[in-house]
Amino acid sequence: MRMNRQGLIIWFQHMKNLRQIKRHGHLIYASKRLKYAVLYVNQEDVEDTTFKLEKFSFVTKVEPSLKPFVETEFENKQPDEAKIYDYNMGI
């Protein structure tokens, strides 16, 4: 069974608190220089997890990722005939 997941971008103040962030989901990436982490959680638990993380004093901001809501099906556009001709000619 495959669960729908969504990313959370968590901005924090100190790297030493990263262990507490890890407990709320699957930690994918943490930046030392910019002080943010990417955490994946189940899509049903996004609001609860966001609320819990914002309660921490070391968390500056929590942003949900919009990737699950972006359409990935595109219209099939016909390529330009001049480009096809140039490609076939080897230019």
DSSP string, 27-54: EEEEETTTTEEEEEEEGGGHHHHHHHHH
The alpha carbon dihedral of 36, 8, 42, 69 has a sign of negative
Q: Which domains does the chain have, with CATH numbers?
A: 5-69 (3.30.70.80)
pLDDT in the model for residue 71: 82
Please check whether residue 42 is in contact with residue 8, taking contact to mean a CB–CB distance below 8 angstroms: no
pLDDT (0 to 100) of residue 85: 72
Q: State the pLDDT at residue 91.
A: 54
Q: What is the pLDDT along the chain (91 residues), one digit of tens a residue?
A: 788 999 999 999 999 999 999 999 999 999 999 999 999 999 999 999 999 999 999 999 999 999 888 887 767 677 677 777 777 766 5
Place of tokens 């996004």: 46
pTM of the model: 0.75
